[in-house]
C-alpha cells in the first residue's frame, strides 16, 4: 500500500495511548530501570521512557521471548498427554517506541524463523504485533544503520513510523501497513491530514562508515585470518551481545518439569558461550573464543546474506554498548574491511 502521511500533535500521543488501552491493546513500550531501558507491558503513558538514542534491550522479546513455552505435557494413569502452545492466547500488542533499526530487525529475525520450516509460534506472535516506529533525531558513536542499508527514518518493519518534527514539534506519522491503518481507524481525529513532506531534515545525520557488501566479499576469504584472534582476545565469552541484539535468534530447547507436569521451552542462547557447540563426547568444534567471535560476525555478514539474502545486523550498536569489555562491532568491522588478507 502507499504510505499515507498524517500529522499527530505532540499532545495527541497520550490520547492515542489511552484510546489503544481502551481498545484492550497490550502496549509494550520502553521502560527504564537501573538506568537501562527495555520494552515492557506498560499501563500508563507517563511510564514510557523518552529521549533514548537506543533502548538497552531490543524489542525482539515480543515475537521471540527469552523464555517461551513450546508445549505442555503431563503424565497420568491414562498415559501421556501433550498439548502445544495455544496460539489464541497471544494478545494483540502495540510495540511502541521502536527505533527504525529495531523495526527492520524484525524482517531479519523473520527470515530465520521462516527459512524453509515455518515457525508458527513466532509467526503468530509477530502477526499480533503492530509496530510503532520512532525515527531517530539523534545518534551516537555506536550507531551505524546507514552502513548496513538502513537509515534513521527507515520505514521497514514499522506499521506506523513517527518522526518528531523539531525539538518541541509535532509528529509526522507515516502509515505504512494495513495494521497501521487499523490503528488510525481507532483514533481518526488524532491523525490529521497533512501535506508536510521532507522529514529528512529532522533526522540524525549518520555518515556511512563501511560497505556491508565489501565486508561480505572480504569474509569469503577471511575465515583463517589472524584478525579473529586479535579482535577476540579481550572477549570474555558472555552472551550480552547476543541477548541485546535485535536479530540474534540462536536458541536452546529445555524441559522444565515439576512432578508429572511440565513444559518444553525455548530460550535464548548465544554462540559466544564456550559450551554452545560442545558434543556429548566433549569434543568442541569451536573450542576457542576467536572461533566463536568469528561465527558471530560470519553469521551476520556472510552466512545470512548467502543463505537468507539478508544481513544479520541492523547497525543498532547495542552489542557494543552492552559489551562489558568494549568489543565495538563497528570498529571491528572497519578493521576487517581495512586488513589485507
Q: Considering only residues 10 through 39, tell me which ones interact with other proteins, judged by CB under 8 A.
A: 33-36, 38
CA distance from start to end of the chain: 46
- CA distance linking residue 321 with residue 139, whole number of Å: 13
- CA distance linking residue 255 with residue 73, whole number of Å: 10
Q: Which is nearer to other proteins, 176 or 297 (CB)?
A: 297
Q: Are strands 192-193 and 160-164 parallel, antiparallel or unpaired?
A: unpaired
Instruction: State which of residues 43, 324, 338, 341 lies at the interface with other proteins (CB under 8 A).
Output: 324
Q: Which of residues 209-228 bind other proteins (CB under 8 A)?
A: 223-224
Least distance CB 31 / other proteins (angstroms)? 9
Q: Where are the beta strands (DSSP E) in 171-260?
A: 171-175, 192-193, 251-258
DSSP category for residue 138: -
Least distance CB 243 / other proteins (angstroms)? 5
Least distance CB 182 / other proteins (angstroms)? 22
Q: Which is nearer to other proteins, 198 or 259 (CB)?
A: 259
**Options 144-152, 175-183, 206-214, 323-331: segment touching other proteins (CB under 8 A):** 323-331
Q: Which is nearer to other proteins, 60 or 99 (CB)?
A: 60
- Pair 90, 28: CB distance under 8 Å: no
Q: Show the site string, 258-287: x = touches other proteins by CB under 8 A, - = not.
A: xx-xxxxxxxxxxx-xxxxxxxxx-x-xx-
- How far, in whole angstroms, is CA 58 from its chain's centroid? 5
| 252 sits near other proteins (criterion: CB under 8 A) | yes
Centre a 10 Å sphere on the Cβ of residue 303 and count the other Cβ atoms it contains. Answer: 15
Q: Which is nearer to other proteins, 51 or 117 (CB)?
A: 117
**Options 17-25, 44-52, 128-136, 302-310: segment touching other proteins (CB under 8 A):** 302-310
Instruction: State which of residues 3, 182, 208, 257 lies at the interface with other proteins (CB under 8 A).
Output: 257
Least distance CB 83 / other proteins (angstroms)? 9
Q: Is 84 helix (H, G, I), strand (E, B) or coil?
A: strand
Q: What is the gyration radius of the CA atoms in the chain, in angstroms?
A: 21
- CA distance linking residue 276 with residue 284, whole number of Å: 9
**Options 12-20, 152-160, 210-218, 322-330: segment touching other proteins (CB under 8 A):** 322-330
Least distance CB 36 / other proteins (angstroms)? 5
DSSP category for residue 73: E
Question: Mutual orientation of helices 100-113 and 120-127 as an angle, nearest 10°?
Answer: 150
Q: Show the site string, 39-68: x = touches other proteins by CB under 8 A, - = not.
A: -xx--------------xx---x---xxxx
Q: Which of residues 69-128 bind other proteins (CB under 8 A)?
A: 69-73, 75, 79-80, 82, 84-85, 87, 89, 112-113, 115-121, 123
Q: Which one, of 288, 286, 297, lies nearest residue 331 by Cα?
A: 297
Q: Which of residues 139-178 bind other proteins (CB under 8 A)?
A: 140-142
Instruction: State which of residues 131, 143, 244, 297 lies at the interface with other proteins (CB under 8 A).
Output: 244
Least distance CB 118 / other proteins (angstroms)? 6
- CA distance linking residue 293 with residue 288, whole number of Å: 9
DSSP 42-91: -S-GGGS--S-SS-SS-SGGGTS-SEEEEEEEEEETTEEEEEE--GGGPP
Instruction: State which of residues 242, 310, 313, 333 lies at the interface with other proteins (CB under 8 A).
Output: 242
Q: Which one, of 10, 1, 7, 3, lies nearest residue 195 by Cα?
A: 7
Amino acid at each position: 500500500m502507499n504510505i499515507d502521511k498524517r500529522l499527530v500533535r505532540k499532545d495527541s500521543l497520550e490520547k492515542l495511548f489511552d484510546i489503544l488501552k481502551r481498545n484492550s491493546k497490550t502496549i509494550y513500550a520502553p521502560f527504564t530501570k537501573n538506568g537501562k531501558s527495555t520494552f515492557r507491558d506498560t499501563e500508563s503513558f507517563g511510564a514510557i521512557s523518552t529521549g533514548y538514542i537506543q533502548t538497552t534491550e531490543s524489542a525482539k522479546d515480543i515475537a521471540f521471548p527469552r523464555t517461551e513455552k513450546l508445549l505442555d505435557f503431563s503424565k497420568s494413569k491414562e498415559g501421556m498427554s501433550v498439548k502445544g502452545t495455544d496460539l489464541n492466547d497471544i494478545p494483540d500488542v502495540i510495540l511502541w517506541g521502536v527505533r527504525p533499526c529495531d523495526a527492520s530487525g524484525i524482517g531479519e529475525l523473520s527470515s530465520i524463523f521462516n527459512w524453509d520450516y515455518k515457525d508458527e509460534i513466532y509467526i503468530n506472535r509477530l502477526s499480533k504485533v503492530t509496530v510503532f516506529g520512532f525515527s531517530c533525531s539523534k545518534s551516537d558513536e555506536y550507531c551505524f544503520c546507514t552502513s548496513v542499508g538502513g537509515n534513521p527514518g527507515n520505514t521497514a518493519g514499522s506499521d506506523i513510523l513517527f518522526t518528531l518534527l523539531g525539538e518541541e514539534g509535532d509528529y509526522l506519522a507515516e502509515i505504512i501497513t494495513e495494521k497501521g491503518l487499523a490503528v488510525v481507524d481507532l483514533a481518526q481525529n488524532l491523525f490529521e491530514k497533512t501535506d508536510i513532506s521532507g522529514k529528512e531534515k529532522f533526522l540524525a545525520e549518520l555518515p556511512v562508515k563501511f560497505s556491508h557488501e565489501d565486508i561480505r566479499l572480504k569474509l569469503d576469504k577471511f575465515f583463517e585470518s589472524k584478525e579473529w584472534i586479535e579482535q577476540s582476545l579481550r572477549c570474555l565469552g558472555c552472551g550480552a551481545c547476543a541477548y541485546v541484539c535485535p536479530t540474534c535468534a540462536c536458541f536452546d530447547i529445555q524441559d522444565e518439569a515439576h512432578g508429572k507436569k511440565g513444559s518444553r521451552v525455548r530460550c535464548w542462547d548465544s554462540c559466544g558461550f564456550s559450551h554452545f557447540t560442545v558434543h556429548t563426547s566433549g569434543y568442541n568444534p569451536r573450542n576457542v573464543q576467536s572461533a566463536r567471535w568469528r561465527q558471530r560476525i560470519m553469521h551476520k555478514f556472510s552466512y545470512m546474506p548467502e543463505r537468507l539474502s539478508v544481513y544479520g545486523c541492523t547497525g543498532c550498536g547495542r552489542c557494543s554498548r552492552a559489551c562489558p569489555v568494549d568489543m565495538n562491532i563497528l570498529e571491528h568491522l572497519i578493521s576487517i574491511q581495512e586488513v589485507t588478507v
